[in-house]
Amino acid sequence: MNATAEPIDESSISQKTIDARVKEVIKKAIQRNIPGLARLPETQAQLEVGTSDKELIYSTDTARLYHYTPLADEIYRVPILLVMSPLARGYILDLTRGQSLVEYFLTAGHDVYMIDWAVPQKKHKDLGLSSYACDMLGLCIDKVVEDSGEADLSLVGYCMGGLLSACYQAVNPDGPVKNLACFTTPVNGDGMVLYKKWLTSKSFDLDRLVDELGIIPSEIINISMQALRPLQRNANQLKLLNNVDNDEFVKAHLRFERWAVDQLPFPGAFAKDFMIDFVRDNKLIKKELTLDGKIVDLANIKVPFLHVAASFDHIVPEASSKDLIGMVGSEDKKEIVVRGGHVSLVAGGNAIYRLWPQLDRWLSERAD
């Protein structure tokens, strides 16, 4: 190896290269010092999400079960299993460092697992509520028990993941679930007013839609969710303009936007079970909903129970979730209503100060 430095042949560097380098240096200097000009990712896909260290411990073509690497040397005995909605990606619970419920739990000394649902394929069109709530969730619970070596766990479900968790526990009251926490969980179809109106209308043929498409594309789900608050996205864009000089706000906005449009398609059978049995016919409230041939009666839930609702939730409005706490048969039960919306409840700035400490406290007290 020749240690002598080769003299630089300056004529070999073109003026164009020098200009480009000077521009780059000036651009970097500006971006380092002026708020609002930080180096932001060019696309939402480049934003880092789901940053906590995790390991895949079980996988099927419809679900992935992850185990997060504990951050504490000493952890609580009872592990937590987070259950996402089958319509959404799990990274909303682990958005980024400092804005992650998973990271908060890990730092507090919990052992955390998460079910993240995969994109259903045509062959999954017949997977209904029963397949998700009993078969897949049941399998994942067994895997967590096996992996952790503990006989019981705390189940924490978000949105429709809460519905799956509550249904699972109602038909498996003697299973390994020690504690159950549900976030913004719908139980009363009558409370989902707009969907109910559409589904009771004779002109709206959901059966045909499902039969033709097999899997309901995420675009249709996005549109139907936007119909619940049609101008919210426009308002969010304007909020972004008002805060364009705040780099952290811009990054958080991009992350939320990425997640909001990153919905999962709906297997046709699940769509029918949810929209017809649950929303239109309100079978859960009437105790007529069956899973695995068993009636889903939430009064069968006897384990310690926590329900967390958001006061400005337009996706799962109060009218559709408020009955849950009364229906559950547990003696040890509690409801927390937090100021905020459906998503800000779990990942917004206020969640960190308002909700997560209460949630950690509730789970910790029941974790040994």
Residues 279-318 that bind other proteins (CB under 8 A): none
Closest CB to other proteins among residues 297, 318: 318
Burial 303-339 (b: 16+ CB within 10 A, else e): bbbbbbbbeebebbbeebbbbbbebbebeebebbebe
Q: How far is the CB of 161 from other proteins (least distance, A)?
A: 20
Residues 204-233 that bind other proteins (CB under 8 A): 204-205, 208-209, 212-213, 227-232
Estimate to the nearest angstrom the gap between the alpha carbon of 265 and the chain centroid: 14
The 10 Å Cβ neighbour count of residue 2 is 5
Region from 45-53, 156-164, 238-246, 287-295 binding other proteins, contact rule CB under 8 A: 238-246
Q: Is 121 in the site for other proteins (CB under 8 A)?
A: yes
Contacts of 21 (CB under 8 A, 6+ apart): none
Residues in a beta bridge with 300: none
Closest CB to other proteins among residues 175, 214: 214
Closest CB to other proteins among residues 198, 356: 198
User: What whole-number distance in Å separates Cα of residue 8 and Cα of residue 162?
Assistant: 65
Residues 35-64 that bind other proteins (CB under 8 A): 55-61, 64
User: What whole-number distance in Å separates Cα of residue 259 and Cα of residue 84?
Assistant: 13
Judged by CB under 8 A, which of 33, 203, 293, 331 binds other proteins?
A: 203
What sign results for the dihedral spanned by CA atoms 239, 241, 246, 250?
A: positive
Judged by CB under 8 A, which of 21, 23, 27, 239 binds other proteins?
A: 239
Closest CB to other proteins among residues 197, 339: 197
Binding track over 141-180 against other proteins, x by CB under 8 A: ---------x------------------------------
User: What whole-number distance in Å separates Cα of residue 92 and Cα of residue 16?
Assistant: 44
Closest CB to other proteins among residues 5, 231: 231
Closest CB to other proteins among residues 17, 121: 121
Judged by CB under 8 A, which of 40, 235, 261, 295 binds other proteins?
A: 235
Q: How far is the CB of 240 from other proteins (least distance, A)?
A: 10
Q: How far is the CB of 65 from other proteins (least distance, A)?
A: 9
Measured CA to CA in angstroms, residue 322 lies from 117, 241, 253, 297 at distances of: 26, 36, 29, 16
DSSP string, 223-261: HHHHTTSTTHHHHHHHHHHHTTT-HHHHHHHHHHHHHHH
Residues 83-112 that bind other proteins (CB under 8 A): 109, 111
Give yes or no for a contact between 118 and 64, defined as CB atoms under 8 angstroms apart: yes
Region from 46-54, 72-80, 126-134, 179-187 binding other proteins, contact rule CB under 8 A: 72-80
User: What whole-number distance in Å separates Cα of residue 327 and Cα of residue 162?
Assistant: 14
Closest CB to other proteins among residues 54, 258: 54
**Three-state SS at 323:** coil
Q: Is 333 in the site for other proteins (CB under 8 A)?
A: no
Contacts of 2 (CB under 8 A, 6+ apart): none
Residues interacting with other proteins, by CB under 8 A?
Answer: 55-61, 64, 70, 72-77, 109, 111, 118-119, 121-123, 150, 193-194, 197-198, 201-205, 208-209, 212-213, 227-232, 234-235, 238-239, 241-242, 361, 364-368
